[in-house]
Amino acid sequence: MAAAPSHEGVATSVAGMAEGGTLPVVLPERLDTAAAPALKHLIEQARAQAGAGRAGLDASAVTYIGGLCLQLLLASGCAVIAPSEKVREAFSLFGVSEVVADLLAPSKEQ
């Protein structure tokens, strides 16, 4: 697959813990169309849990991200923690590697 050149340099947000000290919510393995409604619910919970801080989503186990779940991740503004290789590839395929890095930049500094 021809990846965007930006792919290599992308480190979305790699952190062990979300802002505010709350444990990150672990994302399911498969984030396809069917998983989108549940993902929204999950993110809502994570955001509620994080309160004023920034919610973290542990993407280490994720093997597939579809278009609808990508939208939710982008809109949530949550930190994507320890993204798996598959997740990085998906971000690159969707052309959002840089966007994700930008959107989630603050979490990098944690």
Partner 1 sequence: MSDDMDDILQVFYQECDEQLQELERGLAVLADGESGQETINAVFRAVHSIKGGAASFGLDNLVRFAHVFESSLDGLRSGRVVPTPDVVKTFLKAMDVLSDLVTEAREGTPVDPARIAESQVELEAIISTGGAASAQADIIPQDFVPVPMDFEPVPMDFEPVPVAFEPVPVAFEPVPVDFDFGADTQAEPATGCLVVTFRPHDALYERGDDARNMLNGLADLAAGVPGGHMTTTCDFSALPVFEAVDPLKSYLAWRVVLPPEVTEDSVTAVFDWVSDACDVTTTREDGAQANPAAALLDEEPHAQAPAVPAPTVPDNVVQDSAPVTAARDVVAEHAHPTEPASPVASTAAPVSQDVHAAGGAHPHPAAAGGAARKTEQQASIRVDLHRIDGLMDLVGELVIAQAAIESLSRRTDPAAAQELMQGIGSMQSLTRDIQDAVMAVRAQPVRGVFQRMQRVVREACSMTKKDVVLTLEGEDTEVDRTLVEKLTDPLTHMLRNAVDHGIEKVEDRLAAGKPAQGHILLSAGHRSGRILITIKDDGAGINRQRVLETAIKRGIVAPDAQLTDDEINNLIFAPGFSTAATVSDLSGRGVGMDVVKQAILSLGGRVAIQSVPGEGTTFSLSLPLTLAVLDGMLIAAGGSTMVIPISSVVEAMMIDQRDVYVLPDGGNVISIRGSCMPFIPLAAALGLAQKPSDEDIREAVILVVENESGGRAALVVDEIRDQTQVVIKSIEKNYRQIEGVSAATILGDGSVSLILDVSALIAATVGRMDKALDPRRGMAA
| Binding region for partner 1 (CB under 8 A) | 1-5, 29-30, 32-34, 36-37, 39-40, 43, 47, 63-68, 70-72, 74-77, 90, 92-96, 99
The residue with tokens 């498969």 is 30
- The strand pairing partners of 26, in sequence order, are 58
* Residue closest to 44 by CA, chosen among 36, 21, 13: 36
Would you say 43 or 81 has its CB closer to partner 1?
A: 43
Q: CB count, 10 Å around CB of 22?
A: 16
> What's the closest the beta carbon of residue 81 comes to partner 1, in angstroms?
18
- The strand pairing partners of 56, in sequence order, are 79
> What's the closest the beta carbon of residue 69 comes to partner 1, in angstroms?
8
Would you say 20 or 66 has its CB closer to partner 1?
A: 66
Packed helices 36-50 and 67-76: angle between N→C axes, nearest 10 degrees = 20
Would you say 26 or 99 has its CB closer to partner 1?
A: 99
CA dihedral 28, 23, 48, 63 (to 10 degrees): -20
> What's the closest the beta carbon of residue 25 comes to partner 1, in angstroms?
14
> What's the closest the beta carbon of residue 9 comes to partner 1, in angstroms?
15
